[in-house]
Amino acid sequence: MTLSPNEAKTLLLARKAELTELAEISMGDRATVALDQQSVGRISRMDALQRQAMAQANDRQRARELQRIDGALQRITEDEFGFCLECGQDIPEARLRVDPAALNCISCAKLFG
């Protein structure tokens, strides 16, 4: 059984919704850290800055994944889903089931990272 474009679209939209929800949940952690030394101790402020940096890094990673998802959804619309962007060969179904936003077959992914 092959992964149909409709199945892939369902998986991609579910992952997109999950990423959007995670972004909303972490919004507070990405906010600017107050430098008011009267209300926050030095260690607490350092923890807050570290939490902020980690949340911002996670947000950048989510944004990259959302871009990949949007690209895969576009490829579905253009009837180009499931083909390697480098060599044009079919991307194996097992790879697409794990990552429906995959851009390349395994061989090209190894070569082009």
Q: Is residue 20 a part of any domain in this protein?
A: yes
What is the rounded average pLDDT for all residues in the chain?
A: 87
Q: Is residue 86 a part of any domain in this protein?
A: no
Domain containing 38 equals 5-81
Q: Scan for tokens 């390697």, then name that residue.
A: 84
Residue partners of 107: CB distance under 8 A and separation at least 6: 87
Q: Is residue 103 a part of any domain in this protein?
A: no
- pTM recorded for the entire structure: 0.79
For the chain, what is the domain count? Answer: 1
What pLDDT is stored for residue 80 in this prediction? 94
For the cut 90, the answer to whether the pLDDT of residue 102 exceeds it is: yes
Q: Is residue 102 a part of any domain in this protein?
A: no
What pLDDT is stored for residue 50 in this prediction? 87
What pLDDT is stored for residue 96 in this prediction? 95
Radius of gyration of the chain (CA): 19
What is the average pLDDT across 75-79?
96
Q: Is residue 95 a part of any domain in this protein?
A: no
For the cut 60, the answer to whether the pLDDT of residue 106 exceeds it is: yes
Q: Is residue 110 a part of any domain in this protein?
A: no
Question: Is the separation of the CB atoms in 96 and 12 below 8 Å?
Answer: no
Q: Is residue 18 a part of any domain in this protein?
A: yes
pLDDT digits (tens, 9 = 90+) for 11-48: 999 999 999 998 888 776 666 655 555 555 666 777 87
Provide the pLDDT confidence category of residue 52 given band limits of 50, 70 and 90.
confident
Q: Is residue 68 a part of any domain in this protein?
A: yes
